[in-house]
Structure 1
Amino acid sequence: MDNKISNPRKTSDIIKKHQFSFKKSLGQNFLIDENILKKIVSSADLSPYSGVIEIGPGAGALTQFLADEADKVVAFEIDQRLKPILAETLKDKDNVKVYYEDILKADLKKIIEMEFPDNNDIMVVANLPYYVTTPILMKLLTEKLPIRGIVVMIQKEVADRLEAEPCEKSYGSLSIAVQYLSDPKVVMTVPKTVFVPQPNVDSSVIRLNIRKQKKVDVEDEDFFFKVVRASFAQRRKTLMNNLLNNLFTKDKKEALIKALSVINIDPKRRGETLSIEEFAKLSDALIKLR
C-alpha cells in the first residue's frame, strides 16, 4: 500500500487524525505536490549510497521520497508535536532517523560522523522554515561540514539574493557570503498554492554546490566579511561613506582614499557595484588601516 502523503487529501487526513495545529512561529508550511517533491529530490543527484540530512521534515512528505532514493536520511525536527505523525508516515522507512532538536543548536559535525561513517556523499535537502533560512544556511556553509551540497526550498526573494550578481537589486552581503563558499543556482520557482497552509510568498528551490576552494583568496576572512557588511550598511551611500561610518574612523579618510586609488576602485562607487573579486582586493588593501 502506498503510504505517500504528498497530496492535499492525505495531508489533511493525517493532520486531522492527530489533531495537529500549525504554528506560525515555526514557519510550518507542508508541501503537497508530488511532482515538486520529486524535482527537489532529483535536484540533489542522490544515489543508493548517498546520505541525506533533512531539516524540518514536517509530516514527512519529502522524507518519504528521500528515503526511497538514498542510503540513509537523518532529519532534524524542532516540533515535538510531530513525533506521532512522523512515526506513522515513516513507519516503513527503516533508513530514516529523526532528531527532535533545533538544527541551529545541533553539533552537526559530530552527528554526521556518527550517522554517516565513511560516507563521502552527503547532501542537505530541506524545505526550510523561512524565518530561519539565513542562519541555517550560514551554519551549513561555515561549519566545514563534509557535505557535497545543499538543495533547499526557501523564500523566492531570498533565493534571488543568494544568486544575485553585482548591480542587481537583490545583490548584497548575503550574496557574497554564500557565493564565497558555494556555487548557488536556482532550480525552480514554486507557487504558494502547493503548500498547506499557504504562505504569503512564492518559493524557490536552490542548489548550493559547496566549493572545494573558496571563490577568492583573502588575507583575513573575518575582516573580508566586515568590509563587505560595512560596504552594504546603507545602500544609497558611497563606498567611502559606508566604510568611514561603519568600519573606520574619520581620521582614516586620506589613507582610505589612497588605498582605494592603488587598487583602482573609485570611492564614489556603491557597494552593490563591486564584484566579489573586487571586495577581496579591497579587503586586503584595507587590512593595514585597521
Structure 2
Amino acid sequence: MTDGGRLLGAADIRRIAEEEGISPTKKFGQNFVIDPGTVRRIVREAGVGADDTVLEVGPGLGSLTLAILETGATLTAVEIDPPLARRLPTTVAEFMPQAADRLTVITSDALALTPDMLPRMDGRFTLVANLPYNVATPIVLTLLERFDGLDSFLVMVQKEVADRLAAGPGSKIYGTPSVKLAWYGTAERAGVIGRNVFWPAPNVDSALVRFSRYAEPRFAGADRAMTFSLIDAAFGQRRKTLHAALKRIVPAEAFTRAGIDATRRGETLTIDEFATLSRAVQEVQAS
C-alpha cells in the first residue's frame, strides 16, 4: 500500500449518506460495503498495484474506491447516480487527499460507456467493482465487447450470478452468460462475501468472480455476432436438441461440417464448439 489515509467504516458511510441526503435505492441496485476488510480483500484478490489502471463501476459512497486508490493505482469511477458522483471526489479528498489526482469520476450508465468517454483507458486496464445485482452480466459482457484493453476483472456480484458466470458445460447453471464470457477469456469463482458487510444488508449472498482475457483471440474465422445468436437460440429452448432449437438458422450440413451431433443439447457445447458451428454456418452460406 502506497497511500496513507483511511477507509470508510459503517459510521462514515452513514454520515456521508446523511450529509448528502442519500438513501440506497433498489432502482440502481445500491448496497454499500461498510467493512474495510472486505474492500481490501477485493483489491487484493484483483491483484491491483501502483502501476495499474483501474475502472470501477458503481462506486457508490466510495468504500472500494478508497481501497483501490490505497494501492497507488490510477482509477476511473463510473457512477450512474448524479448525487453520488458529485460526492465521491469530496470523500476521497477527505479520507485520502494524496490520491485525489489519480481519480476521475464519470457520471454515466456503464452500459452507455464508449472508448471516447474514458480517455485514461486507452491501454490495458482492469475492472474492479461491486456491481449492481440486476445488471452485472450485461455490464461485464458490454464492456468486454467495447473495450479491447479490458484484460481482466474482479467483480462482486450476487452469488447465483457468480456461479453462472463461472459455470462449465453440462451443469444446470451453465447458460448464455457462461458461454459468452468464455468467448473473451476464462472466469472462476474467487470467494463468497457475507451479507453483513453491506448497508442495507441484501437478502442474498454475494461472491467474487475473477476473469482473465485471452492473450490472443481464440476463434479465428468465427463471427462473434453469429456465434452469440447461436448461443441465444440454443439456450432459449434449453430442453430441445440443437437440431430443433437451431433449425431456422443452422443448415443440417453445417452440423456435419462442424463435427457436432445435432441431437445434443446446447448446454453440452463448449464455446469452442459454438464457434466451430458458427464458422460452419458461414461456410455453408458462402458455398
Tell me which interval the TM-score lies in, with the shorter structure as reference length.
0.7 to 0.9
1:110 aligned residue: 116
**Matched residue type, 2:146:** E
Query: Which deviates more, 156-165 or 78-87?
Result: 78-87
Distance 1:84 1:280, change over 3 A: closer
Deviation at 1:196, TM superposition (A): 0.8
Deviation at 1:47, TM superposition (A): 2.1
Distance 1:268 1:147, change over 3 A: closer
Q: What do the CA deviations read for 1:45-77 (whole angstroms, capped 9, x no partner)?
A: 222121111111100011011111133111111
Deviation at 1:262, TM superposition (A): 4.8
Q: What does 1:174-193 correspond to in 2, within 5 Å?
A: 174-193=177-196
Cα distance between partner residues in 1 of 2:228 and 2:159: 24
Distance 1:259 1:134, change over 3 A: same
Q: What does 1:82-161 correspond to in 2, within 5 Å?
A: 82-83=84-85, 85-91=87-93, 92=97, 93-94=99-100, 95-107=102-114, 109-112=115-118, 114-115=119-120, 120-161=123-164
**Matched residue type, 1:23:** T
Q: Secondary structure at the match of 1:287?
A: helix
Moved over 3 A (4+): 215-219, 261-264
Distance 1:280 1:104, change over 3 A: closer
**Matched residue type, 2:230:** V
- Select which of 14, 23, 28 maps to 1:12: 14
Query: Are 2:75 and 2:103, in contact at CA under 8 Å, matched by a contact in 1?
Result: yes
1:251 aligned residue: none
Query: Are 2:144 and 2:150, in contact at CA under 8 Å, matched by a contact in 1?
Result: no
Q: What do the CA deviations read for 1:225-257 (whole angstroms, capped 9, x no partner)?
A: 22222111111111111012x535xxxxxx51x
Deviation at 1:13, TM superposition (A): 2.4
Query: Percent of counterpart pairs with the same letter?
Result: 34
1:28 aligned residue: 30
Instruction: Count residues with an aligned counterpart.
Output: 277
Distance 1:63 1:208, change over 3 A: same
Root-mean-square deviation (Å) = 2.1
Query: Are 1:159 and 1:186, in contact at CA under 8 Å, matched by a contact in 2?
Result: yes
Distance 1:63 1:116, change over 3 A: same
Cα distance between partner residues in 1 of 2:17 and 2:147: 37
Q: Secondary structure at the match of 2:150?
A: coil
Cα distance between partner residues in 2 of 1:121 and 1:30: 28
Distance 1:281 1:147, change over 3 A: closer
Unaligned 5+ segments in structure 2 are none
Q: Secondary structure at the match of 2:39?
A: helix
Deviation at 1:2, TM superposition (A): 4.9
Q: What does 1:31-50 correspond to in 2, within 5 Å?
A: 31-50=33-52
TM-score, normalised on structure 1?
0.87
TM-score, normalised on structure 2?
0.88
Q: Secondary structure at the match of 1:64?
A: helix
Cα distance between partner residues in 2 of 1:271 and 1:138: 20
Unaligned 5+ segments in structure 1 are 249-254
Query: Are 1:49 and 1:121, in contact at CA under 8 Å, matched by a contact in 2?
Result: no
